[in-house]
Amino acid sequence: MNSSSSQQMQDGPPPLSEQPGGCQTFDDWLATPLGCYVMAREQMIFDHALPDLFGFYALQMGCAAVPLMQTSRVTHRFTLAWDTTASLLSEPDQLPFAENQFDVIVLPHTLEFQALPHEVLREVFRVLRPEGRLLISGFNPYSLFGIKRYFGRDRDGPWGGEFMSLSRVKDWLNLLGFDIVGGQFDTYNMPAQNERTLRRLSWLESGGERWWPFAGGVYFLHAVKRVAGVRLMRPDWARSTRRRRAVAAVPTRVTRSTGEPGGGGQ
């Protein structure tokens, strides 16, 4: 055994971010200090939005290692992935589901790593029920994260994806038939890999939201699927009761005519 191998055994394995090919996928990057920090920030956003969304089936596409739907009240929840372990395995632009299957779909950083992100959204629109909800999170190219991706050499994890602007994603959603009902920016901290640095600069979160609100590292969108000509009908019990009363037959008393005023029979 040479001296270099002996020294490596004494020091232990290098961190995941320093291992060759250690962060080849986005889910691997989530185990790094910066990945954990970003997901913790996004978890708070999803935890706030999901409890108000109801239905029978919900689907999370991507970030299979993070239970982003833990606060959801939807009865049946599934996680889909394409390069990691999950309850469902499929390509995001070719979903193996029939139309109008899901009430809620969550897309955490899915579009950045797809060759055809518009087709992914088209598939999501197809399998989402009318008035179904779509929650999207993505990296903002006009932020410190975008600067790091543009000028940095690292292409592992998120830095190898394509950061799409918020306006571009909104245009795609509007063209498909979604209505944007909410959204926000978040994660104004420096994209540092050191946990101590992230804690020391945590004041940037409140400061960034006040000074440069559109330069958050990630954005969040809440959209609703609208279908032309489809309107959810709710029963109007009071109106239906009045209608039944109006058409009900009213019995009348019939007397036999005898030709005499007030006459009766013999």
* Residue range 111-123, pLDDT digits in tens: 999 999 999 999 9
Token output for 45: 């956003």
Q: Residue 21: pLDDT band by 50, 70, 90 thresholds? A: very low
**SS3 label, residue 86:** coil
pLDDT, tens digit (0-9, with 9 covering 90-100), for 231-244: 555 555 455 454 45
pLDDT, tens digit (0-9, with 9 covering 90-100), for 131-174: 999 999 999 999 999 999 999 888 888 999 999 999 999 999 99
User: For 248-264, what is the mean pLDDT?
Assistant: 50
What local confidence, expressed as pLDDT, does residue 252 receive?
A: 53
The per-residue pLDDT of the chain, averaged, comes to 83
